[in-house]
A and B are shown apart, each in its own frame.
Chain A
Amino acid sequence: MKVAVLVKQTPDTAELPKVSADDVRSGSVKATMVINPWDEFAAEEAILLGERFDADSVAISMGSPDAVDALKHALAMGVGAAALVDNSAITGGDMWTTAAALAGAVKAEGADLVITGKQSVDDNSGAVYAGVAARLGWPLISAATKVVDVADGKITVERMVEGAQETITVSLPAVVSVGKEINEPRYPSFMGIRKASKANIPATPAGDLGVASGSGKTQWSNIRKPEERKTECVIIDGASVEEKAAKLADALMAEKVI
């Protein structure tokens, strides 16, 4: 079995509030870029599945050549190999453009299981893995909390939806997106980081995987910052905690939120 894990390079979450509308419009976000935090769970799961089921693993990322850093993080954690899909020459794409290119890369790697994160902290789509599954014609299990077993060409997974936990079996090849309950991502070891820094990561232009500029089905416009919250805080004073509680209750009733 070969497991492909999809990892994206995204802005450090602590810097997201500083991302400006202009940054997003121009596509060059000025922030420290790191591996999408959700994808650390996916990388960890790919490593664990490799150990449990004697499988090879490969991390795939689509992005600019800088996205090799996310791939190096995955390698340093212990993923077996890495491949970059270079999208520098593609403009006017959307999540389906990304999904089509990644599906092509998964095929090229000969993977029979794709593990992904739950969503990217910049696009927040929760869609790319569905696009990959749709394009490959593979089944999808999303929001996985545990891989129960891989046997006889099938994978069995537990996942959470509102109000229920489901156990689902599908045939391989398949796509599984994972939630954060699934594992505890390891920190890259010193040895891992050294190995990753020397790794040779092949890059394939996205165009070679059958995607073209302007293939997006959606467009973003009127990109803006959300209105700042009114920040004036009324500090409730009082001689006793009971008095404060009563004053707060009055205020909340006046606001009609209770």
Chain B
Amino acid sequence: MSVLVWIEQSKSGPVANSFEVLGKAREIASAMGTQSVAAVVGGDTSVSAAEAGRYGADVVMTLSSPVLADFRLSAYVKALRAAIDAAGATVVLMAATVRGREVAAMLAGELDAGYAPDVVDLRVDGGKLVAVRSVYSNNILTDVTFTSPVQVVSVRPRSFPMPEAGAAGGESKAVDPGVSEGDVKETLVEVKSTDSGEISLTDASIIVSGGRGVAQDPAKGFELVAQLASVLGAAVGASRAAVDAGYIPYKHQVGQTGKTVKPDLYIAAGISGAIQHLAGMGGSKIIVAINKDGEAPIFEKANYGIVGDLYQVLPALSAEFKKRMG
């Protein structure tokens, strides 16, 4: 028995959300009286393995092979199956990123194991794992319990705090991933980085979003949104109306058919607060609405509101925060 966490790697190193999950895995493992195991899969696993040790994994397992240098689903699933066997893992956790969700689903599907996707909380009740899922597009919560011996969970980013990094630690263990090029089902033709150094919506602690309220001058409107975001170190979000109108690319869309976000602060400028938008950002700690219509539904969910023209309010906020933040 053990609690295993897949430490996902991107081109720039380990994905931070994996360590949020590892922090929780340590709690789960100790409540179950077992060990936490961090599994790093890749061509080069050394940097992420060292990090996983600092974040407190009891065992850091590395599955290294040139075949695993790039992410390919079937190869990574196979390597993780080797890790699960080697660790005797009964609970398998990972961050619910795009890759994390497909790895978790495929792994659970192949093992015929119970799977709880995109969970927002985890606990141990009477020795058993209980996952909390947000379903019906964030309109219903449900506990999920498992009847299978192996239990797979992907965890929504920012559901758990980032643990404190400590001194180097963890027993390290190299495991043969058992993959050869011949069994890999995918050929990777090309990988293009789309990482422009901007903060991602799902990781951001502050988000500034714009909506159709910028219609009068969309370029200017989103420039003002981006300016405030840059002063605050925030990510830029958008409503579907803004995305559909072509003001900003789809990857910025927040909501039911966009991203679910959970920042400490969400500033919505020129967004009316449609149900499908609220479904994606209703979990934010503090919501600020800027809208020229004092009756807009967004004010019913907001903690603070400014009734006014975003073309005036956004620059004033940028100037004010610049002053305060130096």
Question: Chain A: how many interface residues by the 8 Å CB criterion?
Answer: 79
Question: A214-237, CB under 8 A of B: which get 1 and which 0?
Answer: 001111111111100111111110
For residue A89, CB closer than 8 A to chain B, the reply is no
Q: What residue of chain B has the Cβ atom nearest to residue A94's Cβ?
A: B114
Interchain nearest-CB distance for A204 vs B (Å): 22
Question: Chain B: how many interface residues by the 8 Å CB criterion?
Answer: 90
Interchain nearest-CB distance for A101 vs B (Å): 14
Interchain nearest-CB distance for A198 vs B (Å): 32
Q: What residue of chain B has the Cβ atom nearest to residue A161's Cβ?
A: B98
Bound CA span A45–B308, Å: 42
Among B97, B137, B317, the residue within 8 A (CB) of A161 is B97
For residue B90, CB closer than 8 A to chain A, the reply is no
Bound CA span A229–B285, Å: 10
Q: Given that A170-B187, A246-B320 are known contacts, is A142 also in contact with B98, CB under 8 Å in the complex?
A: yes
Q: Given that A161-B97, A217-B114, A257-B285 are known contacts, is A126 also in contact with B105, CB under 8 Å in the complex?
A: yes
Bound CA span A219–B144, Å: 6
For residue A33, CB closer than 8 A to chain B, the reply is no
Which one, B21-29, B47-55, B173-181, B249-257, is touching chain A?
B249-257
For residue B46, CB closer than 8 A to chain A, the reply is no
For residue A153, CB closer than 8 A to chain B, the reply is no
Which residues on the B side are within 8 Å of A165 (C-beta)? 191-192, 194
Chain B contacts to A: CB under 8 angstroms: 10-12, 15, 71-74, 97-99, 101-102, 105-106, 108-110, 112-118, 133-148, 185-195, 200, 202, 205-206, 232, 250-251, 256-257, 264-265, 275-276, 279, 282, 285-286, 288-289, 294, 299-308, 312-313, 316-317, 319-321, 324
Chain A contacts to B: CB under 8 angstroms: 11, 13-14, 16-17, 19, 21, 24, 37-38, 94-96, 99, 121-127, 129-131, 133-135, 139-143, 156, 160-171, 180-181, 216-226, 229-236, 241-242, 244-246, 248-249, 251-253, 255, 257-258
A-B pairs with the 5 shortest C-beta distances? A134-B109, A130-B105, A217-B114, A163-B195, A245-B316
